[in-house]
Amino acid sequence: MEKDLWQMIDEADAYNYGNIATQLKKDMEKSVQATMDKSPETVRLDIAKVSNNLYEKMDQFAQAEQDYVPSPETWLEYKPEHETIKENLQNLQAVQKKTSAQEVMAASDKTVDSFQQASIFLQVEYEKLMERERQVQREMEQIKNIIEQMQEQTRGSSPENLQKLMINSKKFVSDIENLREDIHWQKPVIAAALWKEAREQVKQVYTEIREIPDKIKTAVRDKAYSIVDQAVQKTSSIFDKGIQYLQVKKEEVLNLSLLEKKRQAAEKTQEEIKTVEQQQPSLQHINEPSKDRAVASVQDKVFDDRISIKMPRKVLAAFSV
């Protein structure tokens, strides 16, 4: 591939992110074709079968990303598998020129196995992505059901507390649904990070409120209305915390692109300092104290910037799914 995969992911936006899977596929097709052109029929048939299966898995995963949410870290994890296949294909070409048929078949089997391992990886990642999406949908439906149950069962709760619960719960649901739509217009790295935070928050809110309707039902039966009111307030607070958490995380993640530009500018400044020093060695003994102070000042600023700045690459580690 002409570009580093990380660079492609980092530069991709919502409109051209799909090109990453396309470029990986084209890169593999090129290597496969070069090998098949020099291989006997039995080898060609085996390579054609496993390579076509890999292309299908790549297309399947890319489609799931388009339908739901990007998963750039999956492609970064796939890349070593991709490179292993290409190395095996090159080795298969080489052994066919000067070795026995038995050695050719051994190299072919190794290449086929690497294709199969890559296909399995993408299939597993596809199933993980789909299950994550099914889970968040189930939990969102359960949250909506719990809201309805509480609205019907909260006899004895103060109207103010009940109204606050309805406002917070509906806003939480609305924020998640709006975020689901918004991420389709974000850079893939940002979209993946945002949706991971949203999924985890949905799970946490659901876990914290799922038993509350039963507790309210029991309290109403026992005419323990103060417990009903406390449960309503607690649930409202859980939704409110979820809303605030999502807002904070959204602001953090959306600021990453600006921070990365700042980091790059700081690194460029440091590189320029090194270039000047290398190009003008004769000036090293001239006015040495003042030069040291100037360089130290700039380098201290660079170091300070690096402490407080998160690189986009780290987003994938911090928010990987």
- Of 202, 220, 254, which residue sits at a domain end? 254
For residue 241 the two structure tokens come to 């915390």
Query: For residue 312, what are the domain limits?
Result: 258-319
- Residue 135 in any domain: the answer is no
- Residue 180 in any domain: the answer is yes
- Residue 147 in any domain: the answer is no
Cβ(136)–Cβ(202) below 8 Å: yes
Total domains in the chain come to 3
Q: What is the pLDDT of residues 16-62, one digit of tens each?
A: 888 899 999 999 999 999 999 888 899 999 999 999 999 999 999 99
Burial 90-122 (b: 16+ CB within 10 A, else e): eebbebbeeeeeeebeebbeebbebbeebbebb
**Does residue 30 share a domain with residue 61?**
yes
Cβ-in-10-Å burial (0-12, 13-18, 19+) of 291 comes to middle
Report the alpha-carbon distance of residue 161 to residue 220 in Å, rounded.
16
- Residue 191 in any domain: the answer is yes
Cβ(203)–Cβ(137) below 8 Å: no
**Does residue 184 share a domain with residue 263?**
no
Q: What pLDDT does 294 receive?
A: 40
Residue 223 carries which side chain, given as an amino acid letter? K
Cβ(286)–Cβ(42) below 8 Å: no
**Does residue 122 share a domain with residue 105?**
yes
- Residue 296 in any domain: the answer is yes
**Does residue 18 share a domain with residue 109?**
yes
**Does residue 264 share a domain with residue 215?**
no
**Does residue 104 share a domain with residue 57?**
yes
Residues of the chain with pLDDT below 50 are 282-315, 317-321
Which position has the token pair 């299950």? 131
Report the alpha-carbon distance of residue 217 to residue 228 in Å, rounded.
8
- Residue 108 in any domain: the answer is yes
- Residue 94 in any domain: the answer is yes
DSSP string computed for 237-263: HHHHHHHHHHHHHHHHHHTHHHHHHHH
Q: What pLDDT does 308 receive?
A: 32
**Does residue 94 share a domain with residue 35?**
yes
Cβ(205)–Cβ(138) below 8 Å: no
Report the alpha-carbon distance of residue 259 to residue 243 in Å, rounded.
25
**Does residue 262 share a domain with residue 248?**
no
**Does residue 275 share a domain with residue 246?**
no
Report the alpha-carbon distance of residue 283 to residue 262 in Å, rounded.
30
Q: What pLDDT does 317 receive?
A: 46
**Does residue 97 share a domain with residue 35?**
yes
**If DSSP states are collapsed to H, E and C, what string results for 17-84?**
CCHHHHHHHHHHHHHHHHHHCCCCHHHHHHHHHHHHHHHHHHHHHHHHHHHCCCCHHHHHHHHHHHHH
**Does residue 263 share a domain with residue 219?**
no
Report the alpha-carbon distance of residue 126 to residue 92 in Å, rounded.
30
- Of 130, 145, 167, which residue sits at a domain end? 130
For residue 278 the two structure tokens come to 């290398």
Angle, alpha carbons 120-126-131 (nearest 5°): 125
Q: What is the pLDDT of residues 150-167, one digit of tens each?
A: 888 766 678 898 899 999
Cβ(209)–Cβ(235) below 8 Å: yes
- Residue 25 in any domain: the answer is yes
For residue 307, what are the contacts with CB-CB under 8 A and spacing of at least 6?
Answer: none
Q: Considering all CA atoms of the chain, what is the largest pairwise distance in Å, rounded to the nearest integer? A: 90
- Of 130, 162, 187, which residue sits at a domain end? 130
Cβ-in-10-Å burial (0-12, 13-18, 19+) of 272 comes to exposed
Q: What letter does residue 2 receive in the DSSP assignment?
A: -
Which position has the token pair 């596929």? 25
Q: What pLDDT does 222 receive?
A: 85
**Does residue 242 share a domain with residue 208?**
yes
